A and B are shown apart, each in its own frame.
Chain A
Amino acid sequence: MVVGDMTEQTDLVVIGGGPGGYSAAVRAGQLGIKTILIDQEAVLGGVCLREGCIPSKALLHVAEVIGLSQQATAYGVNFAPPQIDLGKLRSWKGDMISKLSQGILSMCKSNKVDVITGQARFLNERTLHVNCEGENSRQIKFKRAIIATGSSIIKTPAFFKDPQDQNSKRILDSRSALQVPEVPGRLLVVGGGYIGLELGSVYAALGSEITVIEMTDGLLPGVDRDLVKPLANHLNNIFKNIFLNTKVLSIEDSGEGIVCSYQQVGQQETTKEKFDYALIAIGRKPNTDDLGLENTSIELDNTGFIKIDEFCCSTDKKIMAIGDVTGPPMLAHRAMRQGHVAAEVVAGMSSAFDNLAIPTVVYTEPEIAWCGWTEGEARAKGYSIEVAKMPWSASGRAMTLGEPNGLTKIIYDPKTMLVKGVGVAGVRAGGLIAEAMLAIEIGLVVEDLVRTIHPHPSLSETIGEAATAAMNRKARQQKEQSIA
């Protein structure tokens, strides 16, 4: 031990102050457990608050406002082109983050959670060493620990002939893109996943010309194609180019801009194109380095995530793990629920992460949201399912919003009529998924959705309508059977 190190004891230490970590710490505090929360940043909230969900949604709101002002022309309301004050936009966003972060801190305090800023590392299965900048380092002896260190952006050095170019200001990642350093004229987005498309939409609204390069044959790989279609149609209008089945070979900073060479999969021909900036959004990896995991008996799975069971316990019985560091889907709300489970398990409660579904929302315009089984996955697994759809072109509310491009679909088990999955594409789809989540978690059958009154006119009616379509189909099938 270094002379001057402080050693303290606690029941629970939570490493990482993101949504998972602070949820765990606050819940533990509520349950009367002596808890210390450690984050390497002074601003609590993790990637989600500082450089992820919250700032991106703020910017997407701006994009929506701009988009709506442009669409308004269609119904006879004309606005002048927007004048964008980037400084003000940034400070609006910054204020929001600091306010929310303050809120997290005061929530920790009111639940008697000690918050430490520093870098934590396991010395052994009972002890953490915390390096606090500008202070003496501390040692914490704990009874239980929860790892909630999250994930970070995957770097792609292979793209760059000159490694220096990686650090060029013209190369953005999801973190720096959210700072909105400027509005580039031509922005290349590498990766057609939700981060690339959300940020691409923001920059398109701010005035950039967007080119997306995606390696697979469609945007948002893994999502049902019929849900992606309304978004793909819209993005085809607001983006300059979307290249699917296309591989980035190299990216160079020429000093005046970015030169990207790319190639269609299976083709010989290489295209070189100039951009002002490039945003690389190809995925995230778990933060497990520099944690001293080698000093514990924690095991990682073969993709590098910490292995946990349904009680969020790792293979080291004193140490638990939650959130992105434990695997996909890397979503804040999954981490938060796991955080509650982990804290309750520490408190001796018999909680478990037994959730049947985790919702996902892509906050593009239109939004895409889904939960439970996707049609694609259920079919790939060979489950007998049926799918009932309600196109939004028949929804009064969608029309009054000027957004008739959308789809609501219910994936159900025709035998039990249980709701197995719901997918929604369309404006404000994210808000509709909550009803679907409840239906799946509490085991509703399709008929329950039909017999529940949905407000008229509202987008939630599309769930009731899709459910009605399913029931009508069932009635037809029964009739055919009885005739046969």
Chain B
Amino acid sequence: MPFEFKLPDLGEGIREAEILAVKIAEGQMIAEDAPLFEVETDKAVVEIPSPVAGKVIKIYVKAGQIVPVGTVMVSIEESSSKTASIPSTNSTESQTITKTTTYPPSPSGEKSKASFVGEVIATPATRQLARELKIDIHLVHGTGPSGKISKEDLLAYADQQNKFKATGMPESAASSKPAGEGNKDGSDYTLLDFEKFGPIERIPMRSVRRKTAQLMSLSWSKIPHVTHCDEANITELEKLRHKHGATMQEKGGRLTLTAFIVKAVTLALQKFPEFNSSFDENTEEIILKHYYNIGLAVATDRGLIVPVIRDTDKKSILELAIDINGIVDKTRSGKIELEDLQGGTFTVTNIGAIGGTSATPIINYPEAAILATMQAKEKPIVRNGKIEISLVMPLSLGFDHRLTDGAQAANFVQLIVKMLEEPSSLVPTL
């Protein structure tokens, strides 16, 4: 029996991926770990290697297609004849139907695959219905006690999948819905027929764009945002940066302003932990994070992507500069790994390169705040009764008003401003 390769679970909540490239051809002999496909998920471009060696019998997908997790992508006749015994992590994970079987333990101590984690809770009839509807029940969200999946949950999922298949878009993006039926978010609206007014074009929302839309809606609807604006005179900082720039370049780092900002933010977060937290609505608790992972909003051809610089409290500015350069390059070239996009605690977005005097950045849910740094410009500054020309950078902090208040935000931003204005305080951390 040929080995059927299914789109594996790609991690945190990713349910489908767009196929960017098919790297094999039917009839081709491939080695184990040879790249099969390049796919783009909501978060990253990943290359999927073959868990087996053998001959490609049939390819079921083509570039440009969006496929849900569990879709059979290719069948491979394995080189060795031991077809049934390849417990590669990918293959077992991805064999969606196989996973529904959890053999019960037997008195003789038969090895069981059952695991309490990820076990499906649904009645036998519901499990059967899932197979009939060709749904991997593991992907269905159960609304019952302890996550039990009801027939209704299954039908809702099937409905969503059908719309997805019909339009190539998830339900939220599919617009043609009869009036009065309500949209996914519970609102009740239909779009106008724009064609009445002139020619239009419909572009499917895909991968990054779609994920951004979902995340921003979630953040904006859940978090009461407040934006606090301030300015930092970075004249001294720029001098310092240029002074150290050359030595840094020798050491392999480009000493960007972002590295200083990330450091200043990290130091400020240590003083104001509520900006490094999350709000747990279920338990009504504030989760303070004792680790500092700063996300950087990076504009790419594919849209906005936020890679994460880890443990910024443990790194010098030079180390941060090296990390930032590396991860930004990786992000722009689409080579970023999924794990580099996870675990952020605070986000910095630097729109300064383009322009602007202030912004109202939307928090990267479920973080507590986001700092936007705008374009630094030379401005007249009055100091000690004299007008000086200084390099001034506006800052906009968006924060979750459930977690903290305006006064703390002002203090938090002031601390950052102070560090940027008196960079000597940052020098020890260079």
Q: Give min CB distance, A31 to chain B, whole Å.
A: 15
A377 touches B146 (CB 8 A): no
A172 contacts chain B at the CB level, 8 A cutoff: no
B108's contact among A328, A350, A356, by CB below 8 Å, is which? A328
Q: Which of B104, B127, B148: most chain A CB closer than 10 A?
A: B104
A222 contacts chain B at the CB level, 8 A cutoff: yes
Q: Do A443 and B146 contact each other (CB < 8 Å), given the known contacts A328-B108, A356-B114, A377-B105? A: yes
Q: Which of A299, A310, A356, A418: most chain B CB closer than 10 A?
A: A356
B131 touches A329 (CB 8 A): no
Q: Which of B1, B100, B106, B144: most chain A CB closer than 10 A?
A: B106
A441 touches B146 (CB 8 A): no
Stretch in contact with the other chain, from B118-126, B242-250, B291-299: B118-126
- List of A residues within 8 angstroms of B109 by Cβ: 222, 377
Rounded to whole angstroms, the CA-CA distance of A374 and B104 in the bound complex is 10
B425 contacts chain A at the CB level, 8 A cutoff: no
Rounded to whole angstroms, the CA-CA distance of A218 and B107 in the bound complex is 13
B104 touches A355 (CB 8 A): yes
- List of B residues within 8 angstroms of A299 by Cβ: 84
Q: In this complex, what residue of B is CB-closest to A417?
A: B146
A317 contacts chain B at the CB level, 8 A cutoff: yes
- List of A residues within 8 angstroms of B127 by Cβ: 354
B146 touches A328 (CB 8 A): no
B116 contacts chain A at the CB level, 8 A cutoff: yes
A179 contacts chain B at the CB level, 8 A cutoff: no
A354 touches B110 (CB 8 A): no
A264 contacts chain B at the CB level, 8 A cutoff: no
Within 8 A of B (CB), among A368-393: 370-374, 377, 381, 383-384
Q: In this complex, what residue of B is CB-closest to A443?
A: B121
Rounded to whole angstroms, the CA-CA distance of A356 and B145 in the bound complex is 18
B128 contacts chain A at the CB level, 8 A cutoff: yes
A445's contact among B97, B101, B102, B145, by CB below 8 Å, is which? B145
A351 touches B108 (CB 8 A): no
B146's contact among A355, A384, A416, by CB below 8 Å, is which? A416
For chain B, give the interface size range. 20 to 34
B1 touches A315 (CB 8 A): yes
Interface size on A, residues (CB 8 A): 42
B98 touches A309 (CB 8 A): yes
Q: Give min CB distance, A459 to chain B, whole Å.
A: 22
A350 touches B104 (CB 8 A): no
- List of A residues within 8 angstroms of B104 by Cβ: 355-358, 371-373
Rounded to whole angstroms, the CA-CA distance of A331 and B187 in the bound complex is 54
Rounded to whole angstroms, the CA-CA distance of A167 and B214 in the bound complex is 76
A310's contact among B84, B101, B105, B146, by CB below 8 Å, is which? B101
- List of B residues within 8 angstroms of A355 by Cβ: 104, 124
- List of B residues within 8 angstroms of A327 by Cβ: 110
Q: Which of A307, A374, A443: most chain B CB closer than 10 A?
A: A443
B411 contacts chain A at the CB level, 8 A cutoff: no
- List of A residues within 8 angstroms of B110 by Cβ: 327-329
A413 contacts chain B at the CB level, 8 A cutoff: yes
Q: Do A352 and B100 contact each other (CB < 8 Å), given the known contacts A315-B84, A442-B124, A443-B121? A: yes
Digitize A307-332: 1 where CB-to-B-CB distance is under 8 Å, 0 elsewhere. Answer: 10110000101000000000111000
- List of B residues within 8 angstroms of A351 by Cβ: 128, 131
- List of B residues within 8 angstroms of A360 by Cβ: 106-107
B123's contact among A220, A383, A443, by CB below 8 Å, is which? A443
Q: In this complex, what residue of A is CB-closest to B124?
A: A441
A441 touches B106 (CB 8 A): no
A450 contacts chain B at the CB level, 8 A cutoff: no
Residues of chain B whose beta carbon lies under 8 Å from any beta carbon of chain A: 1, 83-84, 97-98, 100-102, 104-110, 112, 114, 116, 121-124, 127-128, 131-132, 134, 144-148
Residues of chain A whose beta carbon lies under 8 Å from any beta carbon of chain B: 220-223, 299, 307, 309-310, 315, 317, 327-329, 349-358, 360, 370-374, 377, 381, 383-384, 413, 416-418, 420, 441-443, 445
10 contacts between A and B (CB under 8 A): A310-B98, A315-B1, A357-B104, A360-B106, A372-B104, A374-B105, A374-B107, A416-B147, A442-B124, A443-B146
Q: A354-B100, A356-B104, A383-B116 are in contact. List 11 more A-B contacts (CB 8 A).
A: A222-B107, A222-B108, A309-B101, A329-B107, A352-B131, A354-B124, A357-B104, A373-B114, A374-B107, A377-B109, A443-B146
- Among all A-B residue pairs, the 4 with the closest Cβ atoms: A310-B101, A443-B121, A329-B106, A350-B131
